[in-house]
Amino acid sequence: MSVPYSGNFSGYTATLLIVSGPLTASVITYRSSLFEYFAKHMTDNAASKSSGTPNQANVSISHVMNETRLFHPTDDFRSKAHVGSIDAYESLYAESISDTEAFWARQANEHLHWFKPFTKTLTWDEPFAKWFEDGTTNASYNCLDANIEAGLGEKVAIHFEGEPGDTRTLTYRDLHREVCRFANGLKKLGIVAGDVVSIYMPMIPELPIAMLACARIGAVHSVIFGGFSAEAIADRNHDAQAKLQITTDGGYRRGKVLKLKETVDEALEKCPTVKHCVVFRRTGSEVAMKPERDVWWHDLIADVSDDCPAAELPAESPLFILYTSGSTGKPKGILHTTAGYNLYAKRTFQWVFDHKADDIFWCTADCGWITGHSYVVYGPMSAGATQIIYEGAPNWPAENRFWDIVEKYKVTALYTAPTAIRAFIKWGDHHVDQHDLSSLRLLGSVGEGINPEAWMWYHHKIGNANCPIVDTWWQTETGGIMMSPLPGAIATKPGSCTKPLPGIVPRILDDSIDHVGVDEGGMLCIEKPWPGMLRGIWRDEKRFKEQYWSKVPGMYLTGDNARCDSDGYFWIMGRIDDVINVSGHRLSTIEVESALVSHPAVAEAAAVGRPDSLKGQAIAVFVTLKDGVAGESLRDELRKHVRKEIGALAQPDDIRFTSSLPKTRSGKIMRRLLRDIAAGKENVGDTTTLEDYSILAKLRSDDES
């Protein structure tokens, strides 16, 4: 059995269930004044609660995991960082919340180009925000022209690595030219400001080029991840009333050619609003071109000018719609607008990744997700960064592909997802060991909670114990990172996204909308508007209000649970709907999962509740073991392990082993599906986002045995 990181598991100590105050076991290094700011409501409330009558309805979520490890930024990192001390963070934060509008106004004036300056910073008519409303700007201008004007024309914007190994390098000047040419192509097809353009492409430079070309002329892009089905494209195009489709003849994935154009052809049968389809030639494979409707990208731009001045757009012009599935019902088109989103993506990129001019940044997300929008396109590009774009799978041609790329391009900052990190752990350390990763200075994580042991592996194995890890919490709706360490300022704790970014005021509330106490879990809400916030759900104002603004007056409801510890650090506890209720104790999925992942044989785990006549719910877990480890005999050992780490109450009742967990296409564990499977329900809900149907089939047959 291979153990990638020979850690001990003493980082966990079992603590009292239900609420305890600040934990004496935790290693408390400082108590920030900021914490006091946050904790004011919480402690007041906790005090009033303990003297009052406990109300079953307000029972908060129990916290059973206590992670005590703490990692300070090194002196070297700190001395070079933009925000290099906790005091610097705290004064930046204090400034940002003492007069939030003035803070963002200053940021917007200093960090965006304005054709016409704004005079109004914020109009807040809850839940509708307008930022910098009377100013005009252009996101494509901010990402391209502004860099060229600043002398960065010859700086590399994109190092592209195709899955087959082909490479391209584009400077900011190259990118500007390609964007202008394609924007002129869009104009030729009759696309004007406000039209919706649907983009379904593999991760090649033409994907950001198409996005920025839309932004340049004020068209609204709707990027659909290149792995979605024809039906998913048709639904989204219909909802968005898209006028144009952009795609490719194909893309490479694990050595095969994905037939994107075929999928689009099937989808467009059901999309009467789409008048044209532009096809970029990526693979050279044969595709059918429908006369009148379809046009090759290279033909479209063959005779256009290299010049296309960026349109002067009102700050609140829609920039893009991005569909996100949400926990139930049809996908919602999350709307982001121009200036506020652009500013928020740029500043959060600079703060969180401590961006330096000579960095080589690699965000491994696809532009089909918000992470690709904010931290491949709008954030890094408006900051003039050099970045890597990789087309393919992390395990093609072998499981070392990411590390090969890091070594080859001397990547300095790597931003990836826990699902990838856990896959690397499962595949084994030898894929990492053959590479020199010493160029890395910063690591990031996004998309799900990162289990502390996966964090430790990332820290040691990839970061050589020398790189801060930024665990970034945010959502498609928030537009950019909301909570994350600022890496030169905030010491990290494995599994915590630490503290809010400037201008962001998180609150944790119980079901009765009371603020919870220290270390009590509850609904995570955001109190003040921020420039990157969603402006609505496309064509569905009712759902926008209901989903995010109806339950908690005056606050944005994130849909996640969280707790805040005695150091003012935030810990995401999973989706509100995923809480497991065992004998009246509400447990968070991530804590049970993290206890399992702390066993050396376990690569990944999912925990769900299933109905139980005695306890209300029993805990069912689905476990993936590291490659080469045998399963069944571990069942008892794992049960005991969880009991030892976090207590008897959290001990799993059912343990099932699976070679891989069902995930959404963006890599999130599908706990809702697993819940149905654990409950033995026939109806497994909407499985259209399953990564691999064979996994579902396998788990079901387990059910039957």
Residues that bind ligand WT7 (CB under 6 A): 324, 369-371, 446-449, 471-476, 497, 558-560, 572, 575, 666
> Which CB sits closer to ligand WT7, 100 or 445?
445
Least separation in angstroms between residue 289's CB and ligand WT7 is 34
Least separation in angstroms between residue 239's CB and ligand WT7 is 17
> Which CB sits closer to ligand WT7, 145 or 448?
448
Least separation in angstroms between residue 691's CB and ligand WT7 is 14
Cβ(375)–Cβ(341) under 8 Å?
no
Cβ(63)–Cβ(17) under 8 Å?
no
C-alpha span between 387 and 158 (Å, rounded)? 5
Least separation in angstroms between residue 705's CB and ligand WT7 is 33
Phi/psi for 663 (5° steps) reads -130, 155
> Which CB sits closer to ligand WT7, 577 or 637?
577
Nearest to 526 by CA among 472, 475, 587: 475
Q: Structure tokens of 552?
A: 């908690």
SS3 labels along 344-366: HHHHHHHHHCCCCCCCEEEECCC
Least separation in angstroms between residue 221's CB and ligand WT7 is 17
Least separation in angstroms between residue 104's CB and ligand WT7 is 21
DSSP state of 632: G
Least separation in angstroms between residue 483's CB and ligand WT7 is 8
> Which CB sits closer to ligand WT7, 101 or 560?
560
Least separation in angstroms between residue 702's CB and ligand WT7 is 27
> Which CB sits closer to ligand WT7, 145 or 691?
691
Least separation in angstroms between residue 192's CB and ligand WT7 is 30
Cβ(515)–Cβ(554) under 8 Å?
no
Strand partners, 252: 257
> DSSP string of 308-321?
-PPP-EETTSEEEE
> Which CB sits closer to ligand WT7, 93 or 474?
474
> Which CB sits closer to ligand WT7, 71 or 296?
71
> Which CB sits closer to ligand WT7, 112 or 590?
590
Phi-psi region of 264 (alpha: psi -120 to 50; beta: other; left: phi over 0): alpha
Least separation in angstroms between residue 488's CB and ligand WT7 is 19
> Which CB sits closer to ligand WT7, 225 or 252?
225
Burial class (CB in 10 A: 0-12, 13-18, 19+), 491: middle
Angle between helices 635-646 and 589-597 (to 10 degrees): 120
Q: Structure tokens of 350?
A: 């600079």
Tracing tokens 């109300």 back to the chain, one arrives at 55
Burial class (CB in 10 A: 0-12, 13-18, 19+), 131: buried
Q: Helices marked H in 418-505 — which ranges? A: 418-427, 430-433, 452-457
Cβ(214)–Cβ(221) under 8 Å?
yes
Residue with nearest beta carbon to ligand WT7: 476
Strand partners, 457: none
> Which CB sits closer to ligand WT7, 142 or 666?
666
CA distances from 109 to 57, 105, 462 (A): 47, 6, 38
Q: Structure tokens of 433?
A: 């060991």
Strands of 220-223's sheet in order across: 294-296, 276-280, 244-248, 196-199, 220-223, 318-324, 332-337, 536-537
C-alpha span between 278 and 54 (Å, rounded)? 62
> Which CB sits closer to ligand WT7, 251 or 559?
559
> Which CB sits closer to ligand WT7, 214 or 497?
497
Least separation in angstroms between residue 596's CB and ligand WT7 is 17
Least separation in angstroms between residue 397's CB and ligand WT7 is 28
Three-class SS of residue 31? Answer: coil
